Amino acid sequence: MKLQHSTGLTGTITVPGDKSVSHRAVMLGALSDGVTHVTGFLMGEDCLSTIDCFRKMGVQIEVGADHDVTVHGVGLHGLQKPSARLYTGNSGTTTRLISGILAGQPFATTLTGDASIEKRPMGRIIRPLREMGADITGVDDKFCPLSIGPGHLHGIAYTLPVASAQLKSAILLAGLYADGPTTVIEPAPSRDHTERMLRALGCRVDTDGCRITVYPPEKLTARDVAVPADISSAAFFLVAGAIVPGSCVTIQGVGVNPTRDGVLEVLRSMGADITLSNLRDDGEPICDITVRASALHGTEIGGALIPRLIDELPVLAVAAACAQGETVIRDAAELKVKESNRIAAMVTELTRAGADVTETDDGMVIRGGRPLHGAAFQTYHDHRIAMSMAVCALVCQGESEIADDGVVAISYPDFFDALRRLGG
């Protein structure tokens, strides 16, 4: 894909459905009694992997036109043993959340994914699930493929070593099958879509600060899900609209759950002109967001903010490269174990464009304001690196090229079309 310097993005768009909510709608719909109609589902490869895994366990799932999905729930105890190993593709969310569910089943399964999944840390889910009584093993007790046998689960109280919603959710979902309540203690609040959806389906989930307790329910009762537009996908246009002079972009119906909206806080702290309108609530808070181009300045991003914008850090690094002054990103070592090492990837690619960036142990330091130039950017087969560098290309002088641009299909299949429609 070739990209040119942009003279301004203008218009109104709707970005695809939230990836985290789409995964959970299928998983919890499958475990519910009754039929779940999901609207606004993200038809990205990751969420299709989740559908595929549940179909292989006997769940009837219809994928209709226009992002509608219907899940015919089989109840908490209705999943069937798949005839082959389950394949989760590139999806960490599928792999980790489904492991929690599989730990409570009366049959054995093997779970595997692509080359990136086989490198991602799974010891973090193996340890607590084993503590609950699960029969789960992985390669060196750390990596996929995972083998999960039938186990009798009991409730535990577990302090997470990292603020990870995938890890939290894996334990809470296993907790549905435990013989007593299960408590997870987070170092900082991470996205709470699992807790919200479980409550909506009639399951008791108590939250007290960073302590979340799930009480094993007799059943989950199906309820339709309207998936909000994904703030993580909107983030590419928020940054593009802020840094490309002359831009004014509105993104409709974006999920602004307070555990996910750190990108708005940071962009505003950098001087971005962002307006929220039409705020409403449909299980998750949503609103329309308008961004106009403005001069940005450097900032500090760390601490409890990190889990609230973890997936937006690559594109925020692009914003920082265009801002006057220094931006420091710290406490973000988790970025090294995403679909790629996103710290190393962004430092290398921004440097290729002429930015002044230094890698640190848990983040990066970006001295912004240098003129950027077009280059042949690498994606590391990571959808968010591809889209972040596409945004960067809009402010680079000259032509840029994104190798392996098809990788955006993981979370945003129409990304380049949307960019073109806005004039990029």
- The stretch near ligand S3P (CB under 6 A) out of 32-40, 106-114, 145-153, 158-166 is 158-166
Measured from the CB atom, is 26 or 310 closer to ligand S3P? 310
Starting at the edge strand found earlier in the chain, the sheet holding 86-87 runs: 86-87, 109-112, 143-149, 135-139
Nearest to 58 by CA among 45, 74, 69, 77: 74
- Counting contacts by CB under 6 A, is residue 22 touching ligand S3P? no
Query: Which residues, at least 6 apart from 402, have a Cβ–Cβ distance to it below 8 Å?
Result: 1, 3, 377, 379, 386, 389, 390, 393
Taken in order 279, 280, 282, 284, the sign of the CA dihedral is: positive
Q: How far is the CB of 191 from ligand S3P (least distance, A)?
A: 6
Q: How far is the CB of 294 from ligand S3P (least distance, A)?
A: 28
Catalytic, 311? Answer yes
Which of 93, 116, 183, 378: binder of ligand S3P (CB under 6 A)?
93
Per the DSSP assignment, residues forming a β-bridge with 182 are 214
- The stretch near ligand S3P (CB under 6 A) out of 159-167, 176-184, 353-361, 385-393 is 159-167
| 358, containing H or E segment | strand 356-360
Q: Where are the beta strands (DSSP E) in 203-257?
A: 205-208, 211-214, 225-226, 248-255
Q: What angle do CA 195, 198, 201 make, to 5 degrees?
A: 150
- Counting contacts by CB under 6 A, is residue 164 touching ligand S3P? yes
- Give the position of tokens 């577990």: 158
- Counting contacts by CB under 6 A, is residue 299 touching ligand S3P? no
- Counting contacts by CB under 6 A, is residue 49 touching ligand S3P? no
Determine which one of 311, 361, 362, 404 is catalytic.
311
Q: How far is the CB of 3 from ligand S3P (least distance, A)?
A: 24
According to CB under 6 A, which residues from 108 to 137 bind ligand S3P?
none
According to CB under 6 A, which residues from 391 to 420 bind ligand S3P?
none
- Counting contacts by CB under 6 A, is residue 94 touching ligand S3P? no
Q: How far is the CB of 164 from ligand S3P (least distance, A)?
A: 3
According to CB under 6 A, which residues from 217 to 236 bind ligand S3P?
none
Q: How far is the CB of 49 from ligand S3P (least distance, A)?
A: 13
Query: Which residues, at least 6 apart from 345, have a Cβ–Cβ distance to it below 8 Å?
Result: 314, 378, 380, 382, 385
Measured from the CB atom, is 188 or 226 closer to ligand S3P? 188
- Counting contacts by CB under 6 A, is residue 166 touching ligand S3P? yes
What SS3 class is residue 325?
strand
Q: How far is the CB of 340 from ligand S3P (least distance, A)?
A: 12
Which of 165, 372, 387, 419: binder of ligand S3P (CB under 6 A)?
165
Q: How far is the CB of 20 from ligand S3P (least distance, A)?
A: 3
**DSSP category for residue 253:** E
Count of positions on this chain that bind ligand S3P (CB under 6 A): 12
Cβ atoms 34, 222 nearer than 8 A: yes
Q: What angle do CA 373, 379, 380 make, to 5 degrees?
A: 135
Which of 6, 20, 49, 257: binder of ligand S3P (CB under 6 A)?
20
Which of 48, 51, 53, 310: binder of ligand S3P (CB under 6 A)?
310
Which of 195, 311, 349, 405: binder of ligand S3P (CB under 6 A)?
311
Cβ atoms 85, 112 nearer than 8 A: yes
- The stretch near ligand S3P (CB under 6 A) out of 126-134, 160-168, 252-260, 388-396 is 160-168
- The stretch near ligand S3P (CB under 6 A) out of 79-87, 145-153, 162-170, 234-242 is 162-170
Copy the structure tokens of residue 261: 């909206």
Q: How far is the CB of 108 from ligand S3P (least distance, A)?
A: 25
Q: Alpha-carbon distance 192 to 50, whole Å?
A: 19
Range 113-128 burial, b when 16+ CB lie within 10 A, else e: bbebbeebbbebbbeb
According to CB under 6 A, which residues from 187 to 216 bind ligand S3P?
191
Q: Is the peptide bond before 413 cis (omega within 30 degrees of 0)?
A: no
Starting at the edge strand found earlier in the chain, the sheet holding 2-3 runs: 2-3, 400-402, 376-377
- The stretch near ligand S3P (CB under 6 A) out of 106-114, 138-146, 161-169, 356-364 is 161-169
- Give the position of tokens 């181009």: 293
Which string of DSSP letters, residue by residue, matches 90-131? T-HHHHHHHHHHHTTSSS-EEEE--TTGGGS--HHHHHHHHH
- Counting contacts by CB under 6 A, is residue 169 touching ligand S3P? yes
Measured from the CB atom, is 64 or 161 closer to ligand S3P? 161
Indicate which residues carry an active-site annotation.
311
Binding site for ligand S3P (CB under 6 A): 20, 92-93, 164-167, 169, 191, 310-311, 334
